[in-house]
Every structure is written in C-alpha cells, then in structure tokens.
Amino acid sequence: MKRQEDLKKRVKEIIKILSKEIPDFRIALRFSNPFELLIATILSAQCTDVKVNQVTMDLFKKYRSVKDYAESNLVTLEGDIRPTGFYRNKAKSIQKCCQELVKRFGGEIPRTLGELVTLPGVGRKTANVILGNAFGIPGIVVDTHVHRVSQRIGLTKKDDPVKIEFDLMEIVLKKEWTHFSNLLVWHGRRTCVARKPLCERCPIRKLCDYGSKMKG
C-alpha cells in the first residue's frame, strides 16, 4: 500500500516536470475529426508519425468520410497508404473497420472502449488514443514508448501492454490518463530513447529507477 502511495506521488511530480519540459505534449498525429484520427492511428503501426502525417495530408483530401473508405477500391487504397508499410494489412483493416462503422454505427465513431475494440484493426491502444485525443475521454495509451518508459521509471514490472495499462490506471489520476500518456510518448521519443537513454539530460532522472542508478 505504501509503495502504491509512493508511486502516485512520483507520478504527480513526473507530470509536473514533464509538462514544463514538453509544452507540445499533444499527440503528434494530425487530424481534424475522430475518424481521421482512427485512420491515422491504424496507419501508425510500425511507422513514424512523421511519415503518417505526410501520407494523410493527401489521403484525407481524397477520402472525406467513413463511407469513402468503406466503398474504396482495396488495391487503390493500398497504393495510397503504401509508404506507411504493411499497407496490404492496413488497407484491409481500414476498409473492414469502416464497413463495420457504416453497418453498425451509422458511420459514426463510437465513444466507448468496449465498442471501439470490436472494430477490425482496433485494439485497446488505438481505442484509448481516439477516446482521449478526439473525445476528451481519459485513457491510458500503452504504445512502445509508454511501455518502455513506464518500466524504466519503475511504475510497472509488467510486460503485457494491457497489464501495464491497468497498473498505470491505479497510480495516475483518471483526469490525467491521456495527458500522462502523451507526456511519456514525447519523453520516450526525445530523451528516454530505446537503445541508449539520455539520462544525463533527463529532467526526471531522480524520479526514475533506471536513471537514478546511472553514474554522473
């Protein structure tokens, strides 16, 4: 119980520090409505947000609605998203997802995690990205950065993304779930990088299990 309280205090301090260090902590994917964020998030699997934003700049002009994707020619859609990698699987997921949205939700993006994860190509991570960043409904997003950073800091010992999500939900205030996720994503990209974290310049080093053990 004491450890839980200590972790909650640590999280509050981390949020305070990183919020000052990372003023542009919003999600990097560009979108103007919930369904565009859905498409962009599916495309972001195994692809950088920079590349996704380059592709969606033209993609969102060509496909204006959920129905446009649902009725698209699959081969043409594959070509339109090819630079994001794994384009065949992604095109299939996008088309099937949008067909289900038209069929079951009248072309609208549902606002609950339970409904979102029933859509093809949508897991808990994607669902929480949409809920938090398009609808303002708090959600913990465990992508590769949040996975790595939360382990290094010492906020979880789990390796399964869903278990990590549940661990973080216990120690982060609900209203901060989306904010905290976005902060860890940016911190993971800029400082707590995968191969060699830049601990010497990390603003939360003293609050991190990994960084506090580093010399210097």
The answer to whether 140 touches 184, Cβ cutoff 8 Å, is: no
- Residues known to be catalytic: 125, 143
Please provide the average confidence, as pLDDT, over all residues in the chain.
94
pLDDT tens digit sequence for 157-171? 999 999 999 999 999
Kindly tell me if the per-residue pLDDT of 1 is higher than 70: no
- The CATH number given to whatever domain includes residue 43 is 1.10.340.30
pLDDT band at 210 (very low <50, low <70, confident <90, very high): confident
Backbone angles phi, psi at 21, to 5 degrees: -75, -30
Which residue, 144, 64, 62, is CA-closest to 98?
64
pTM: 0.92
Where among 103, 134, 165 does a domain terminate?
Answer: 134
Q: State whether 85 and 128 are in the same domain.
A: yes
Q: Could you tell me if 21 and 79 lie in one domain?
A: no
* 144-147: long-range pairs with CB below 8 Å, 24+: 144/188, 144/194, 145/184, 145/185, 145/187, 145/188, 145/189, 145/192, 146/181, 146/184, 146/185, 146/188
Q: What is the DSSP string of 195-215?
A: SS--GGG-TTGGG-TTGGGS-
Per-residue pLDDT at 22: 85
- How far does CA 40 lie from the centroid of its chain? 11
Q: Over range 17-28, report the average pLDDT.
A: 87
pLDDT at res. 38: 97
Task: Assign 83 a pLDDT band (cuts: 50, 70, 90).
Answer: very high
Domain span including residue 148: 2-25+140-213
pLDDT at 179 over 70: yes
